[in-house]
Amino acid sequence: MKKDVNEYISNIINSGPSEEMYFEAIHDVFKDLIKEYIRKKINEDDELKKQITEVLEEFMEAKVKEYDSLAKMAKVTAKIGIMSAPSGVKQEALNDFMDTFRKEIEEIIKSTL
């Protein structure tokens, strides 16, 4: 009987959330409170809000330029590869290159929109 009671209590304790889960939940609550506080402070200061908007626009512009540069590098690399390929395999190499990078190029374009 005593063994059954101990096992029953043990099962109840083990079925509850772990300490780690509580710490994670508290951490998430603190993060949310900090986000809320920061948003409040930003909304109180129009100049700060304007600066954040400008920084975000510059960041997005830089990302678009980065993707554009990557696309240009891919184009130059392909051109060099095709120029250096034997004439018999140029078309096959071009098709392989396009098939290989079509998905990547589409992802770059989609991520900038």
Q: What residues contact 92, with CB distance under 8 A and at least 6 apart?
A: none
Burial group, residue 90, by CB count within 10 angstroms (0-12, 13-18, 19+): middle
Q: Is the pTM of this model over 0.75?
A: no
User: What pLDDT digit, counting tens, does each position of 1-31 carry?
Assistant: 566 777 777 777 677 677 788 889 999 999 9
User: How far, in Å, CA of 81 to CA of 75, rounded?
Assistant: 10
93 with 82: CB under 8 angstroms?
Answer: yes
pLDDT reported for residue 7? 77
User: What pLDDT digit, counting tens, does each position of 32-90 carry?
Assistant: 999 999 999 999 999 999 999 999 999 999 999 998 898 899 888 878 877 887 877 77
The length of the chain in residues reads: 113
User: How far, in Å, CA of 14 to CA of 75, rounded?
Assistant: 59
Count CB atoms within 10 A of the CB of residue 85: 15
pLDDT reported for residue 107? 80
